Amino acid sequence: MLVLNNIEAVYGGVVLALSDVSLKIETGQIVVLLGANGAGKSTALKSISGVLKTEEGKLTAGSIEFEGRRIDNRNPEDIARLGICHVLQERSAFFHLTVEENLLMGGYLRTDQTALKKDMAKVFAYFPQLVIRRKQNSGYLSGGEQQMLVIGRALMARPKLMMLDEPSLGLAPGLVNELFVILKQINLQEKTTLLIAEQNAGVSLAIADHGVILQNGKVGFSGTAAQLIDRRNIKGYYLGDKSGGNQQLQNKTFYR
Protein backbone atom coordinates (compact mmCIF):
# COMPACT_ATOMS: atom_id res chain seq x y z
CA MET A 1 0.00 0.00 0.00
CA LEU A 2 2.67 2.50 1.03
CA VAL A 3 6.34 2.64 0.09
CA LEU A 4 8.95 5.11 1.33
CA ASN A 5 12.04 4.99 -0.85
CA ASN A 6 15.18 6.39 0.83
CA ILE A 7 13.54 9.65 1.86
CA GLU A 8 15.45 12.56 3.32
CA ALA A 9 13.85 15.57 5.00
CA VAL A 10 15.26 18.84 6.34
CA TYR A 11 13.96 21.78 8.35
CA GLY A 12 15.02 25.31 7.53
CA GLY A 13 17.26 24.01 4.80
CA VAL A 14 19.80 23.01 7.45
CA VAL A 15 18.54 20.53 10.05
CA LEU A 16 18.47 16.95 8.75
CA ALA A 17 15.38 15.27 10.25
CA LEU A 18 15.26 12.08 8.16
CA SER A 19 18.06 10.37 6.27
CA ASP A 20 17.74 7.42 3.89
CA VAL A 21 14.49 6.15 5.47
CA SER A 22 12.76 3.29 3.64
CA LEU A 23 9.54 1.58 4.68
CA LYS A 24 6.89 -0.70 3.18
CA ILE A 25 3.37 -1.14 4.54
CA GLU A 26 1.02 -3.82 3.26
CA THR A 27 -2.75 -3.33 3.09
CA GLY A 28 -4.40 -4.18 6.41
CA GLN A 29 -1.25 -4.01 8.51
CA ILE A 30 -0.62 -2.11 11.73
CA VAL A 31 2.90 -0.66 11.65
CA VAL A 32 4.42 1.32 14.51
CA LEU A 33 7.25 3.84 14.33
CA LEU A 34 9.16 3.83 17.60
CA GLY A 35 11.85 6.13 18.87
CA ALA A 36 12.71 8.82 21.37
CA ASN A 37 11.76 12.49 21.02
CA GLY A 38 13.42 13.98 17.95
CA ALA A 39 13.98 10.61 16.28
CA GLY A 40 11.97 11.69 13.21
CA LYS A 41 8.66 9.92 13.78
CA SER A 42 6.43 12.98 13.31
CA THR A 43 8.46 14.15 10.33
CA ALA A 44 7.95 10.78 8.64
CA LEU A 45 4.17 11.04 9.00
CA LYS A 46 4.15 14.66 7.83
CA SER A 47 6.21 13.68 4.81
CA ILE A 48 3.60 11.09 3.83
CA SER A 49 0.56 13.35 4.33
CA GLY A 50 2.21 16.34 2.65
CA VAL A 51 1.92 18.49 5.78
CA LEU A 52 5.71 18.86 5.92
CA LYS A 53 5.57 21.15 2.88
CA THR A 54 3.19 23.53 4.70
CA GLU A 55 5.73 24.00 7.51
CA GLU A 56 9.41 24.92 7.42
CA GLY A 57 10.51 21.51 6.25
CA LYS A 58 10.66 19.68 2.96
CA LEU A 59 11.70 16.40 1.37
CA THR A 60 15.09 16.72 -0.29
CA ALA A 61 15.57 13.16 -1.54
CA GLY A 62 13.71 9.93 -2.17
CA SER A 63 10.09 9.25 -3.09
CA ILE A 64 6.80 8.13 -1.52
CA GLU A 65 4.27 5.88 -3.28
CA PHE A 66 0.70 5.09 -2.24
CA GLU A 67 -1.07 2.27 -4.04
CA GLY A 68 1.46 2.49 -6.85
CA ARG A 69 1.17 6.27 -7.33
CA ARG A 70 3.85 8.74 -6.36
CA ILE A 71 2.49 11.23 -3.81
CA ASP A 72 5.48 13.17 -2.48
CA ASN A 73 4.88 15.83 -5.14
CA ARG A 74 1.20 16.31 -4.23
CA ASN A 75 -0.57 18.77 -1.95
CA PRO A 76 -1.98 17.60 1.42
CA GLU A 77 -5.60 17.94 0.24
CA ASP A 78 -4.92 15.76 -2.79
CA ILE A 79 -3.24 13.13 -0.62
CA ALA A 80 -6.22 13.14 1.73
CA ARG A 81 -8.56 12.50 -1.19
CA LEU A 82 -6.57 9.38 -2.05
CA GLY A 83 -7.55 7.90 1.31
CA ILE A 84 -4.83 8.94 3.77
CA CYS A 85 -5.90 10.52 7.07
CA HIS A 86 -3.33 12.04 9.41
CA VAL A 87 -4.30 12.39 13.09
CA LEU A 88 -1.86 14.98 14.36
CA GLN A 89 -0.16 14.91 17.74
CA GLU A 90 -1.82 18.22 18.65
CA ARG A 91 -5.32 16.64 18.70
CA SER A 92 -6.53 19.36 16.36
CA ALA A 93 -10.26 19.32 17.05
CA PHE A 94 -12.31 22.31 15.94
CA PHE A 95 -12.92 23.66 19.44
CA HIS A 96 -15.72 26.03 18.41
CA LEU A 97 -17.70 23.15 16.89
CA THR A 98 -19.65 20.47 18.71
CA VAL A 99 -18.55 16.86 18.80
CA GLU A 100 -21.17 15.98 16.20
CA GLU A 101 -20.11 18.87 13.94
CA ASN A 102 -16.48 17.79 14.20
CA LEU A 103 -17.43 14.30 13.07
CA LEU A 104 -19.41 15.68 10.14
CA MET A 105 -16.35 17.69 9.11
CA GLY A 106 -14.47 14.41 8.84
CA GLY A 107 -16.86 13.36 6.09
CA TYR A 108 -16.94 16.68 4.25
CA LEU A 109 -15.77 15.10 0.98
CA ARG A 110 -18.60 12.56 1.05
CA THR A 111 -22.08 12.97 -0.40
CA ASP A 112 -23.67 9.72 0.82
CA GLN A 113 -25.72 11.11 3.71
CA THR A 114 -27.27 7.80 4.72
CA ALA A 115 -23.87 6.15 4.93
CA LEU A 116 -22.52 9.16 6.86
CA LYS A 117 -25.18 8.67 9.54
CA LYS A 118 -24.32 4.98 9.79
CA ASP A 119 -20.63 5.80 10.13
CA MET A 120 -21.32 8.34 12.85
CA ALA A 121 -23.25 5.68 14.76
CA LYS A 122 -20.25 3.40 14.29
CA VAL A 123 -17.90 6.05 15.75
CA PHE A 124 -20.19 6.40 18.77
CA ALA A 125 -20.11 2.62 19.16
CA TYR A 126 -16.32 2.65 19.28
CA PHE A 127 -16.27 5.67 21.60
CA PRO A 128 -19.46 5.65 23.75
CA GLN A 129 -18.15 8.54 25.85
CA LEU A 130 -18.66 10.84 22.86
CA VAL A 131 -22.38 10.09 22.74
CA ILE A 132 -23.13 12.09 25.89
CA ARG A 133 -20.88 14.88 24.60
CA ARG A 134 -22.24 15.03 21.06
CA LYS A 135 -23.88 18.47 21.45
CA GLN A 136 -21.03 19.99 23.47
CA ASN A 137 -18.31 22.17 21.99
CA SER A 138 -15.19 20.05 21.66
CA GLY A 139 -13.11 22.64 23.50
CA TYR A 140 -14.69 21.41 26.73
CA LEU A 141 -13.63 17.79 26.26
CA SER A 142 -10.90 16.13 28.28
CA GLY A 143 -7.64 15.16 26.59
CA GLY A 144 -8.77 11.56 26.24
CA GLU A 145 -12.12 12.58 24.78
CA GLN A 146 -10.40 14.88 22.29
CA GLN A 147 -8.21 12.00 21.19
CA MET A 148 -11.30 9.83 20.69
CA LEU A 149 -12.90 12.65 18.71
CA VAL A 150 -10.06 13.23 16.27
CA ILE A 151 -9.75 9.49 15.63
CA GLY A 152 -13.51 9.29 15.12
CA ARG A 153 -13.38 12.28 12.78
CA ALA A 154 -10.70 10.55 10.72
CA LEU A 155 -12.86 7.42 10.54
CA MET A 156 -15.69 9.47 9.07
CA ALA A 157 -13.57 9.92 5.95
CA ARG A 158 -13.40 6.13 5.52
CA PRO A 159 -9.60 6.21 5.15
CA LYS A 160 -7.61 3.44 3.57
CA LEU A 161 -4.60 4.45 5.67
CA MET A 162 -4.88 6.21 9.03
CA MET A 163 -1.72 7.68 10.53
CA LEU A 164 -1.66 8.56 14.22
CA ASP A 165 1.05 10.67 15.86
CA GLU A 166 1.63 9.78 19.54
CA PRO A 167 -2.00 8.83 20.31
CA SER A 168 -1.05 7.85 23.88
CA LEU A 169 0.57 11.21 24.72
CA GLY A 170 -0.76 12.69 27.97
CA LEU A 171 -3.33 9.94 28.57
CA ALA A 172 -3.74 7.86 31.74
CA PRO A 173 -2.37 4.28 31.42
CA GLY A 174 -5.82 2.70 31.63
CA LEU A 175 -7.13 4.90 28.85
CA VAL A 176 -4.07 4.18 26.72
CA ASN A 177 -4.73 0.44 26.90
CA GLU A 178 -8.41 0.98 26.06
CA LEU A 179 -7.54 3.22 23.11
CA PHE A 180 -5.13 0.74 21.56
CA VAL A 181 -7.63 -2.10 21.91
CA ILE A 182 -10.09 0.07 19.97
CA LEU A 183 -7.47 0.84 17.32
CA LYS A 184 -6.99 -2.90 16.81
CA GLN A 185 -10.77 -3.32 16.47
CA ILE A 186 -10.86 -0.54 13.87
CA ASN A 187 -8.06 -2.24 11.95
CA LEU A 188 -9.88 -5.57 11.93
CA GLN A 189 -13.48 -4.44 11.50
CA GLU A 190 -13.01 -1.49 9.13
CA LYS A 191 -10.05 -3.01 7.26
CA THR A 192 -8.16 0.22 7.92
CA THR A 193 -4.38 0.13 7.62
CA LEU A 194 -2.70 1.91 10.54
CA LEU A 195 0.67 3.65 10.80
CA ILE A 196 1.27 4.74 14.40
CA ALA A 197 4.15 6.89 15.65
CA GLU A 198 4.64 6.10 19.34
CA GLN A 199 7.07 6.19 22.25
CA ASN A 200 5.03 3.66 24.25
CA ALA A 201 6.61 0.53 22.81
CA GLY A 202 4.76 -1.98 24.98
CA VAL A 203 1.18 -1.07 24.19
CA SER A 204 1.79 -0.30 20.51
CA LEU A 205 3.77 -3.45 19.72
CA ALA A 206 1.05 -5.50 21.43
CA ILE A 207 -1.37 -4.71 18.58
CA ALA A 208 1.11 -4.29 15.72
CA ASP A 209 2.21 -6.53 12.88
CA HIS A 210 5.48 -4.72 12.20
CA GLY A 211 7.68 -2.17 13.93
CA VAL A 212 10.37 0.27 12.87
CA ILE A 213 12.72 2.00 15.29
CA LEU A 214 13.99 5.41 14.21
CA GLN A 215 17.17 6.74 15.74
CA ASN A 216 18.44 10.22 14.88
CA GLY A 217 16.38 10.24 11.69
CA LYS A 218 17.56 6.84 10.46
CA VAL A 219 16.10 3.34 10.61
CA GLY A 220 17.84 1.56 13.48
CA PHE A 221 15.86 -1.67 13.28
CA SER A 222 12.88 -3.02 11.37
CA GLY A 223 11.07 -6.28 11.99
CA THR A 224 7.91 -8.02 13.11
CA ALA A 225 6.31 -6.95 16.37
CA ALA A 226 7.33 -10.27 17.91
CA GLN A 227 10.96 -9.68 16.92
CA LEU A 228 10.96 -6.26 18.51
CA ILE A 229 9.34 -7.52 21.70
CA ASP A 230 11.80 -10.40 22.09
CA ARG A 231 14.95 -8.70 20.87
CA ARG A 232 17.14 -7.78 23.84
CA ASN A 233 19.26 -5.16 22.11
CA ILE A 234 16.18 -3.14 21.08
CA LYS A 235 16.87 -1.07 24.19
CA GLY A 236 19.95 0.32 22.49
CA TYR A 237 18.15 1.45 19.35
CA TYR A 238 15.22 2.79 21.30
CA LEU A 239 17.22 4.81 23.81
CA GLY A 240 20.22 5.59 21.67
CA ASP A 241 22.40 3.68 24.16
CA LYS A 242 23.55 0.18 23.27
CA SER A 243 24.35 -0.56 26.93
CA GLY A 244 21.25 0.85 28.59
CA GLY A 245 17.99 -0.81 29.52
CA ASN A 246 14.54 0.01 28.22
CA GLN A 247 12.04 -0.24 31.02
CA GLN A 248 9.16 0.13 28.58
CA LEU A 249 10.10 -3.18 26.95
CA GLN A 250 10.95 -5.08 30.11
CA ASN A 251 8.66 -6.83 32.59
CA LYS A 252 5.70 -6.14 30.33
CA THR A 253 2.61 -8.29 29.92
CA PHE A 254 1.41 -8.15 26.32
CA TYR A 255 -2.14 -8.88 25.25
CA ARG A 256 -1.30 -9.61 21.63
> How do residues 36-48 score in pLDDT, each as one tens digit?
888 899 999 999 9
More confident call, 49 vs 201: 49
In residues, how long is the chain? 256
Pairing relationship of beta strands 161-165 and 218-224 according to DSSP bridges: unpaired
Q: How confident is the model at residue 244 (pLDDT cuts 50, 70, 90)?
A: very low
Query: In CATH, what number does 28-56+75-249 get?
Result: 3.40.50.300
Q: 235 pLDDT band (50/70/90 cuts)?
A: low
The phi and psi torsions of 188 (rounded to 5 degrees) equal -80, -45
Radius of gyration of the chain (CA): 18
pLDDT per residue as tens digits for the range 74-104: 999 999 999 999 999 877 888 889 999 999 9
Domain ranges across the chain: 28-56+75-249
Round to whole Å and give the CA distance between 18 and 186. 30
What is the arrangement of strands in the sheet containing 2-11, beginning at the earlier edge strand?
15-25, 2-11, 57-66, 69-70
Report residue 238's pLDDT band, with 50, 70 and 90 as the boundaries: low
* Predicted local distance difference test score (pLDDT) of residue 15: 83
Amino acid identity for residue 167 in this structure = P
Confidence (pTM): 0.87
* pLDDT value, residue 255: 27
Contact criterion met (CB below 8 Å) for 154 and 167 = no
- Cβ atoms within 10 Å of 48's Cβ, excluding its own: 24
Please give the Cα distance from 138 to 117 (Å, whole number): 19
